[in-house]
Structure 1
Amino acid sequence: MASIPDDCHDLFEKQTFAHVATLTAAGLPHVTPVWIDYDEADDRLLINTERGRQKERNVRNNPGVGVSMTDPDDPYRFLSVIGEVETVTTDGARDHIDELARRYQGVDEYQPTIQTERVILRIRPDRVL
């Protein structure tokens, strides 16, 4: 298992967008931009999404993912992670999306209205560039 380098932790304090790649049931790549977070204590990347979205359905069939992000202040500084979604959980997901909305949008509550329920994809980094 790899670890997120200390000198990259600041990427998770900024409005850094990541692209997460998953595989569809047909084995085709699916890549979407996402808000990204990091659980430093557990060394896990966190992606908050809504139940039933394509990426959530994909990782239930194949937990392998690729995540790439570029520093919004320096496009030549990046972090790329290959890993596995260890858990898909609703625990704390609603509060987490509000926390992300504060960082990314400067608002107290996430909008638009949630249609199903929020889930957090907890990603274990296996390879880090």
Structure 2
Amino acid sequence: MTTVPEDLLHLLTDPNYGDLATVRPDNTPQVNPMWFLYDADSNTIRFTHTSRRAKFRNLQANPAMALCVVDPDNPYVFIELRGRLVEVIPDPEGAFYPILGARYGNPDTPVPPDAADRVILVMSIDHLTRK
């Protein structure tokens, strides 16, 4: 398990967007900005997603994933976390989506219309690079 350095912890605890990379079936990367929540107790990252999207299918075929978060105040400072999909938690009520919405400044985020297909993706933190 890789520990997040104290001086970069704010990148994960502040409401910054992260660029999440997965591997497509043709071995090319797919990268998208994502909301996320760092779980310090388990040292994992959690994302809301649906089971009908390409990123979910990518992770089912190849659980390797990486998250890069850039400091919005200094774009030369970043943290890249590499890990694996370690858990998929069904979220058919879409309850995690409004939690993330509130974290990102919108406390009135409604449950999304695709709630029935919602899952929580849990990423391990196995390797870290920084600048």
TM (norm. structure 2) is 0.86
Counterparts of residues 98-117 of structure 1 (less than 5 Å): 98-110=98-110, 112-114=112-114, 116-117=116-117
Within the alignment, does 1:58 sit opposite 2:64 as a pair? no
Q: Secondary structure at the match of 1:102?
A: helix
1:1-129 aligned at under 5 Å gives the runs 1-91=1-91, 94-110=94-110, 112-114=112-114, 116-129=116-129
TM-score normalised by the chain length of structure 1: 0.87
Aligned residues: percent identity? Answer: 29
The answer for unaligned runs of 5 or more in structure 2 is none
Q: Name the CA distance, whole Å, in 1 between partners of 2:67 and 2:11.
A: 13
Q: Which amino acid aligns with 1:48?
A: T
Q: Which moved more, 1:55-64 or 1:1-10?
A: 1-10
Q: CA deviation at 1:93?
A: 7.5
Count of matched residue pairs: 129
Q: 1: distance between equivalents of 2:11 and 2:90?
A: 24
Higher strand share: 1
Contact 2:13 2:38 in 1 (8 A): no
State the superposition RMSD in angstroms: 2.1
Are the counterparts in 2 of residues 70 and 78 from structure 1 also a CA contact under 8 Å? yes
Structure 1: segments with no counterpart, 5+ residues: none
The aligned amino acid for 1:85 is L
SS of the equivalent of 1:30 reads: strand
The runs of at least 4 aligned residues of structure 1 exceeding 3 Å deviation read: none
Q: Which moved more, 1:2-11 or 1:58-67?
A: 2-11
